Structure 1
Amino acid sequence: MNKRQYAQANKDWLQTKVREDGVKALSKGIYYKVLAEGNGDGIHPSPRSIVTAHYTGRTIDGRQFDSSRGGAPLAIRLCDLIEGWIIAMQQMCIGDKWEVYIPAEMGYGKYSQPGIPAGSTLIFEIELMGIA
């Protein structure tokens, strides 16, 4: 499969995924499914917040490319992450656990990363553990 076919396969996968029950839309083509609800206190991180989260990242073929599970959670300023994370996490409360579907344009786009081919739709299971 060439790069163009791969990118199209990722777009097609996302368009199929968004029709599943429980999948909700965010802005810029990002979608998510709630796996667990947190405290629902209405407090959300801002782009300048330092967020603490456990996560696992996969491509549409199920290949895991990164995870904090089994180690320390990620602690980082939200604005330092990919745009898909910034948009999704601003809607989360502490304790929320979501599966987030990020189109390539809101992830790494046409650039490859270790274990992530260019044009990849990214699937992240994110559990927000803290906001500072």
Structure 2
Amino acid sequence: MDKKTYIQANKDWLAEKSKEEGVHALAKGVFYKVLSSGDSSGKSPSARSIVTVHYTGQTIDGKQFDSSRGSVPLAIRLSDLIEGWIIALQQMHVGDRWEVYIPAEMGYGKLSQPGIPGGSVLIFDIELLGVA
């Protein structure tokens, strides 16, 4: 599949996913589905917060490119992550677990990363464990 076809296939996949029941829209074309809810009055991060999360990342063909599960959770300043994570995590509360769908423009754009072709929609299963 050539790059242009691949990018269009990713856009089409996200457009279809966005219409599924239980899928909600966030800013800048980011979508999510709640897998489990934490305490709705619990803490939510700001861009400057240090977040502790468990996550798994995959492309639309189901290929996993990264995961913290089965290992130590990731602890990182939210502002150091891709824009799609920054948008989604600021809406989450500690204990929430969401499947987040990030358009390429809010992920790595046209740049390829290990295991991630340029133009990829990114799918993350993110569980917010803590906010500092």
Fold shared, TM-score > 0.5 on shorter chain: yes
Deviation at 1:42, TM superposition (A): 4.8
Q: Count how many residue pairs are aligned between Structure 1 and Structure 2.
A: 132
1:57-76 to structure 2, matched below 5 A, reads: 57-76=57-76
Alpha-carbon deviations, 1:15-38, whole Å to 9, x = none?
Answer: 000110000000000000000000
Asked whether 1:96 is paired with 2:101, we answer no
Alpha-carbon deviations, 1:38-86, whole Å to 9, x = none?
Answer: 0111531000000000000000000000000000000000000000000
Misfit runs of 4+, over 2 Å: none
Percent identity, please.
72
Amino acid paired to 2:89: M
Amino acid paired to 1:65: F
Q: Specify the SS of the correspondent of 1:61.
A: coil
Which residue number in structure 2 is paired with residue 4 of structure 1? 4
Which residue number in structure 2 is paired with residue 124 of structure 1? 124
1:24-63 to structure 2, matched below 5 A, reads: 24-63=24-63
Amino acid paired to 2:107: G
Amino acid paired to 2:9: A
CA–CA distance in structure 1, aligned partners of residues 110 and 32 of structure 2: 22
Structure 2 unmatched runs, 5+ = none
Structure 1 unmatched runs, 5+ = none
Q: Specify the SS of the correspondent of 2:34.
A: strand
| TM-score after normalising by structure 2 | 0.99
Q: Specify the SS of the correspondent of 2:88.
A: helix
Q: State whether residues 42 and 94 of structure 2, in contact with CA within 8 Å, keep that contact through their aligned partners in structure 1.
A: no
CA–CA distance in structure 2, aligned partners of residues 23 and 4 of structure 1: 26
Which residue number in structure 2 is paired with residue 83 of structure 1? 83
CA-atom RMSD, angstroms? 0.6
